[in-house]
A and B are shown apart, each in its own frame.
Chain A
Amino acid sequence: MTPHVLKHIISFKKLKVGFKTVRDTAKAMIFSREKWILAFLEYQKPCDETFAVRCKGIFFEIYEVIPLKNRQLEIICNNEIAPDVFCLTLGGILFNEEIHPGQFVNIHVPGKSLRRPISVSRIYGDRIDLIYKIVGEGTEILRNIKSGYLDVLLPCGNGFDLSAFQNEILIIGGGMGVAPLFALTSEAIKQCKKVTVIFGFRSPKDAILEEALMNLGVDYHFCFDSEGVNVVTMREQLGMSHMPFAACGPLPMLRALCSMKDADTVHERQNLINDDIYGQLSLEARMGCGFGACMGCSIETKQGMKRICKEGPVFNSKEILWDKI
């Protein structure tokens, strides 16, 4: 029988470290934030809160056992960066390379029954940035929370797969869809890929992340509906209509990106999709749980039913059944 791996974080009185437990052998492996193994410990019960552990000859008293996927993250700042758009920086126990671009967190907003899914925009050390737009009651509450802790599930879903792109990648975002793409752009540059970014917004005052892209030194192009240019026409102007891409944004935009040249109307679906274009698309859905338990976010794909929160939110454009979503 394969041992059951329980993933938890124990926070110690003095230092915070993570650990994984192997239930059947009743042993736990303690590793620090850098994933160095500090000690093995034996214990009786995975959720016993009162045992002490000896680590490198020192006894530490454990006072909290936190599940790996559910954490209390501290609000570092939460500021408006464009009209009705906020950047929320959260800090806490985060492991190196734990969160991948395209993954999201699911936030408990005080006073709301369901959690709110928000993509991770920037990952640095033990902090993450989330960029969110005020659209309804939950985000309206969130904008006014300036300090304290938030109850967060993370990381949720599967992110973009950069290894599927060879040397070059085109990154296309529309509206709030640009949020996860900033993390992707940074990562692609780190991996020495040639990156071109196209971001579309309603109007210049809605534009975000320009300075951050400039700092990355990446080739980027902004376009605005108010000026009659959208990301699809911009892609054409740049002569990149056949390049493999990663995208996030409204569904009609994603559909247009995968369609043949003149098929960017919403009505013509599956039959106008251009199968030569390869894209990775990040989709959205109203979610009940965000971790695969409720089937509230499933869509039908060519490979059967898939959950946007678990198998997604990033999908290969070729697996999508456009007439089903």
Chain B
Amino acid sequence: MGQNIDLSGMMIDNPLIPASGAFGYGMDYQDFFDVNEVGTFCTKGTTLHPHKGNPLPRIAEYSGGMLNCVGLENPGVETVVREYFPKLRNTYHKKVIANVCGFSVDDYIKTAEIFDREECVGLIELNISCPNVHAGGAAFGKDPSIASEILTEVKKVCRKPVYVKCTPQCPDLVLMCKTLEASGADGLVLLNTWLGMRLDIRTGKPILSNITGGVSGPGIFPLSLYKIYEVYKNVNIPIIGCGGISNGRDVIEMMSAGASAIEIGTELLTDPMALPRIKKELSELMDTYNITELSEIIGRAHK
């Protein structure tokens, strides 16, 4: 039974990818399972310089999952490649997806260039979709012309495949994705979190320090599924589906809608054993529904 997936030349042995921001730099799950069970994983969103992120509280809850306004806290790309990657190699033997974020076009270029040189990086994920920073982030992800400018410049300095992670806040996502494809994107990651808020029941005031935060978790699954279904009809590059996936069935649905692989965020935070569990569920479902080659179900909803 095959679960191998080809992401623009980066081969992964199963389609399950911990999403950016839910897996740190790969070292926080070692007490739970063998991290080599993942297909690959996305690093925390990384910027050129260290970034402190937003004040607390950064986390709120809703019945379908959570909201966060972490705001891209990270130690900066230099520390990641100099200190974290060598440590990671002791326990993790596959390639990683480097999630790159920036506050200017120049930031994206420099950060991506540094990651591109790293042997363990298999793919670059341009995050133009973080809703929790005041400059850059999702602001770039709403404007196809800025997004394609960043992509074009980054493509010039990278040899590895470059995927773009989009925001559902983009007013015309299909147009955005088509523009990115035309500008040379090797693939798309759909989607980052949805903008939302929660209020304190006693005071009526926002719970999150940033007032708004990114909504994620099982509650957004049908929304993401639909977006991926729509975009798949209009582009020919691989899509990594993300948003609310919490079990094997979600993976099958997401791939049927058009995703070549999937990313899981919130479910890993609330159930750190979710990855091996979902992997098992996926194998069982493949058995039940006579799916011999997982890659064959990609986009079957449209056939």
Task: Please report A residues at the B interface, Cβ cutoff 8 Å.
Answer: 1-2, 4-7, 23, 46-47, 67-70, 108, 112-115, 136, 153, 285-289, 291-300, 305, 310, 324-325
Question: Does A113 contact B73, Cβ atoms closer than 8 Å?
Answer: no
Question: Does B32 contact A67, Cβ atoms closer than 8 Å?
Answer: yes
Docked Cα-Cα span, A291 to B273, in Å, equals 12
Question: Could you tell me the distance in whole angstroms from the C-beta of A58 to the nearest C-beta in chain B?
Answer: 28
* Contact residues in B for A298 (Cβ distance below 8 Å): 53, 56, 58, 70, 73
Docked Cα-Cα span, A294 to B60, in Å, equals 13
Which candidate, B123-131, B139-147, B250-258, B264-272, is the interface stretch facing chain A?
A: B264-272
Question: Does B60 contact A286, Cβ atoms closer than 8 Å?
Answer: yes
Interface size classification for chain B: 35 or more
B90 within 8 A of A: yes
Q: How many A-B residue pairs have CB under 8 A?
A: 119
Identify A67's interface contact among B24, B31, B59, B268, CB under 8 A. Answer: B31
Question: Could you tell me the distance in whole angstroms from the C-beta of A156 to the nearest C-beta in chain B?
Answer: 10
Question: Does A291 contact B28, Cβ atoms closer than 8 Å?
Answer: yes
Interchain Cβ contacts under 8 Å between A and B, 23 examples: A4-B91, A23-B34, A46-B34, A67-B272, A67-B273, A70-B273, A108-B271, A113-B62, A113-B64, A114-B66, A286-B56, A286-B59, A288-B66, A288-B269, A293-B28, A294-B21, A294-B24, A295-B53, A297-B56, A299-B56, A300-B52, A305-B53, A325-B56
The residue in chain B whose Cβ has the minimal distance to the Cβ of A153 is B272
Question: Does B28 contact A114, Cβ atoms closer than 8 Å?
Answer: no
* Contact residues in A for B5 (Cβ distance below 8 Å): none
Identify A296's interface contact among B23, B58, B75, CB under 8 A. Answer: B58
Q: A67-B33, A287-B59, A294-B68 are in contact. Are A114 and B270 (CB under 8 A)?
A: yes
Task: Please report B residues at the A interface, Cβ cutoff 8 Å.
Answer: 21-24, 28-34, 37, 44, 52-53, 55-66, 68, 70, 73-75, 89-91, 201, 207, 217, 266, 268-273, 276
Q: A295-B44, A296-B68 are in contact. Are A47 and B276 (CB under 8 A)?
A: yes
Question: Does A294 contact B270, Cβ atoms closer than 8 Å?
Answer: no
Docked Cα-Cα span, A287 to B91, in Å, equals 26
Q: A6-B34, A113-B66 are in contact. Are A293 and B268 (CB under 8 A)?
A: yes
Question: Could you tell me the distance in whole angstroms from the C-beta of B168 to the nearest C-beta in chain A?
Answer: 19
Docked Cα-Cα span, A47 to B30, in Å, equals 13
Docked Cα-Cα span, A298 to B269, in Å, equals 15
* Contact residues in B for A153 (Cβ distance below 8 Å): 272
Identify A293's interface contact among B22, B56, B73, B276, CB under 8 A. Answer: B22
* Contact residues in A for B57 (Cβ distance below 8 Å): 285-286
Question: Does B269 contact A6, Cβ atoms closer than 8 Å?
Answer: no
* Contact residues in B for A112 (Cβ distance below 8 Å): 61
Docked Cα-Cα span, A24 to B268, in Å, equals 25
Q: A289-B272, A293-B24 are in contact. Are A114 and B59 (CB under 8 A)?
A: yes
Question: Could you tell me the distance in whole angstroms from the C-beta of A7 to the nearest C-beta in chain B?
Answer: 6
The residue in chain B whose Cβ has the minimal distance to the Cβ of A47 is B276
* Contact residues in B for A23 (Cβ distance below 8 Å): 34
* Contact residues in B for A5 (Cβ distance below 8 Å): 30
Question: Does A288 contact B68, Cβ atoms closer than 8 Å?
Answer: yes
Question: Could you tell me the distance in whole angstroms from the C-beta of A3 to the nearest C-beta in chain B?
Answer: 9
Most A C-beta atoms less than 10 A away, residue of B22, B28, B201: B28
* Contact residues in A for B30 (Cβ distance below 8 Å): 4-7
* Contact residues in A for B74 (Cβ distance below 8 Å): 295
Identify B90's interface contact among A2, A286, A295, CB under 8 A. Answer: A2
Docked Cα-Cα span, A115 to B269, in Å, equals 9
Question: Could you tell me the distance in whole angstroms from the C-beta of B77 to the nearest C-beta in chain A?
Answer: 16
Question: Could you tell me the distance in whole angstroms from the C-beta of B215 to the nearest C-beta in chain A?
Answer: 11
Identify B73's interface contact among A285, A292, A305, CB under 8 A. Answer: A305
Docked Cα-Cα span, A67 to B272, in Å, equals 10
